[in-house]
Structure 1
Amino acid sequence: MQKYQNFYQEYVPKIEQVMDKTLLTLDGPASLIEAMRYSVNAGGKRLRPIMTLAIFQAFGGVITDSIIRVACAVELIHTYSLIHDDLPAMDNDDYRRGKPTSHKQFGEAQAILAGDGLLTLAFSWIAESDIDATSKVALMASLAHNAGPVGMVGGQVADMLGNDLTYTHTELVGVHNLKTGALLSYAALAGGILAHVTLPVQTELKAFGLKYGLAFQIEDDILDANDSVDLVKNTYPHLLGLAGAQDELALVLADTRATLATIAAMQPFDHELVAGLLSYFERKND
């Protein structure tokens, strides 16, 4: 996994530099730009753009600042979703990553507008890039689909409705495939689109990202349970028990690895680099 760790350490700073530098070039209200930068620069694992870039490079792509900016479009979408998730009408959170949430720092109206700004800016970063027109259209269409009502936003609605419901295992998987998996599925697909892989490989990349997202959510639920966080009923440990959730995670990860093997049989790529994304799940669930 050392190849991936080196890649991650090299490109996370570049991702953050490109995002902030580009935001600083915006000719918009200073208060709005400040609020947008505040949330974008609040930290995070940057898994979505890293996934896009790792897959792009694994298929022979050469990473430039323009490619990084395109890869970061999904991070803008992710950040806007966190701003809106934290709002009083949603999760009503005061802190994120140890800092006041956007609406606590700038007020509710400014936070909503900062989220709106990031959402729309994401598509500008793709449209104004120097990649070919066919790839631009494919990326924008896929991002809109996966971030919208049949993707992430639909998952957020289902998650909210779940406050008053007890989901079955199938329903819970469906919620998280939308809320968490949809953007990760796009992130994997985006790397393939940028690298001009075949449509069958793109399909498998979408599946890889979706399965990765499900594993990510199960892992998150397990970590919350281990940290004695009060768990609402629609979590994997609540539904399956802690041991059952850990077994589920192992099954999903095995399926995710199998998808990478399927891709490798279809088209050569740097399997070691992409498989390194799974190192996220190697921590002990103590």
Structure 2
Amino acid sequence: MSITIQPFSDWLKATAAHVENVLDEFLPEADIEPVRLHEAMRYSVLGGGKRVRAALVYAAGEASIGAGQSLSSAQAKALDHASAAVELIHAYSLVHDDLPCMDNDDLRRGRPTTHRQFDEATAMLAGDALQPLAFELLAQTPVAPALVIQAIELLARSAGSLGMAGGQAIDCLAVGQALSQAELQVMHSMKTGAMLQASVLLGGIVVGAGSATREGLERYASAVGLAFQVADDILDVTANTAVLGKTAGKDLQNNKPTYVSLLGVDPARELLESLRQEAHAALLPLGPAGHRLGDLADYIVGRDH
């Protein structure tokens, strides 16, 4: 997948379709025992979503090799492995987040959540199985062993107690609590931001990005990771269930602290715009090669309109 002049909406749609095919190839077939578990894994991963995290992987990979340059076949395959890995971790986290012991939600991507479609135990096991599959794919990435180790370490840290899982733990404890903006930012930088940042950085790592490029990607990823959550908080109170594909108003219903509950809708939108500008500023050293990452920043911010 090389840099093209496709309109962004076409590029995003094509990337999502490509990732769907990649995931379909990497996931166990549904007719392999244990059949019900594999059916649940495939149900949880395939058939929906904009694949923003995977798109960040590919866009960062393209940005890292420079404008007008084409990915080698090995680099393209490496990005496939990295994008599938982040999508598998994301899918597992959604399956577990939706369980009765967590958010107890009935809808995800406009259809029944995995524990509603199957059962609670199967959903738990599906999430459990998706997580190691992500690391198996990273371990098989066709790049230098040192880069494979970096990629595995980054994803593990981003998904673990200092990242996504830790942020979710803080979120559970924060229900009904009044958090400061700094505390809220720490929670969301772990819960949501860590995996979005990992998506960007993995794209750079597996194509061999240099240190200067990685620094720009890190600054961009930090801004985009927070922007995604701010936009989600706004959408929770401004969009309906049909638009969201999940139950609207759950944060308010569950008395969870959000940027909207802390700041209000309009100030949250002002923060969102400042994060968009910060993301674009971080891309300036990358030149034209970073244009897809810029498009993605605009897309993430624009979801609340």
Q: Normalising by the residue count of structure 2, what TM-score does the alignment of the two structures yield?
A: 0.86
State the SS of the aligned residue for 2:27: helix
The residue number in structure 2 matching 1:101 is 113
Q: Which amino acid aligns with 2:228?
A: F
Counterpart-to-counterpart distance in 2, 1:175 and 1:284: 21
Range with bigger deviation, 58-67 or 84-93: 58-67
In 2, Cα distance between equivalents of 1:5 and 1:140? 31
Moved more, 196-205 or 208-217: 196-205
Kindly state the Cα deviation for residue 6 of structure 1 after the two structures are TM-superposed. 3.4
- Aligned match of 2:191: 179
- The 1:280–1:197 alpha-carbon spacing in structure 2 relative to 1, beyond 3 Å, is same
- 1:16, distance to aligned residue in structure 2 (A): 0.2
Give distance in 1, aligned partners of 2:152 and 2:216: 19
> Could you say which residue in structure 1 is the equivalent of 2:97?
85
Mapped to 2, the partners of 1:14 and 1:83 lie a distance apart of: 23
> Any unmatched runs of 5+ in structure 1?
none
Q: Tell me the equivalent position of 2:160.
A: 148
**Which has the larger displacement, 202-211 or 46-55?**
202-211
4+ residue segments displaced more than 4 Å: 25-28
Q: Deviations over 1:190-227 (max 9, x none)?
A: 11112211224323312322210111111111122223
Q: How far did 1:157 drift?
A: 0.5
Q: Letter of the 1:216 partner, please give it.
A: F
Maintained 8 Å contact 2:276/2:301: no
Find the counterpart in structure 1 of residue 296 from structure 2.
Answer: 277
**AA of the residue aligned to 2:39:** E
Q: State the identity %.
A: 38
Deviations 1:60-119 (A, max 9, x none): 334534531332101100000000000111001112122111111111111111001000
Give 5+ residue unaligned stretches, structure 2.
66-70, 241-247
Distance 1:10 1:212, change over 3 A: same
Give the match for residue 203 of structure 1.
Answer: 215
In structure 1, the residue matched to 2:280 is 257
Note the aligned Cα RMSD (angstroms).
2.1
The change in CA–CA distance for 1:102 and 1:25 in structure 2 (over 3 A counts) is: closer
Residue 173 of structure 2 corresponds to residue 158 of structure 1? no
Deviates more, 1:177-186 or 1:161-170: 161-170
Per the alignment, do residues 271 and 147 of structure 1 end up closer, same or farther by CA in structure 2, a change over 3 Å counting?
Answer: same
Q: Secondary structure at the match of 1:59?
A: helix
Q: Which TM-score applies when normalising by structure 1?
A: 0.91
Query: Which amino acid counterpart does residue 260 of structure 1 have in structure 2?
Result: L
Q: Point out the more displaced range, 210-219 or 193-202.
A: 193-202
Match of 2:266 among 230, 243, 246: 243
CA contact (8 A) 2:95 2:124 kept: yes
> How does 1:1-286 map onto structure 2 within 5 Å?
3-25=7-29, 28-60=33-65, 61-62=71-72, 64-227=76-239, 229-230=248-249, 231=252, 232-261=255-284, 263-264=285-286, 270-281=289-300, 283=302, 285=304
Contact 1:3 1:273 in 2 (8 A): no
How far off is 1:285 after superposition? 4.7
Equivalent residue letter for 1:20: D
User: For residue 276 of structure 2, what is the amino acid of its counterpart?
Assistant: L
Using the alignment, how far apart are the partners of 2:125 and 2:214 within structure 1?
34
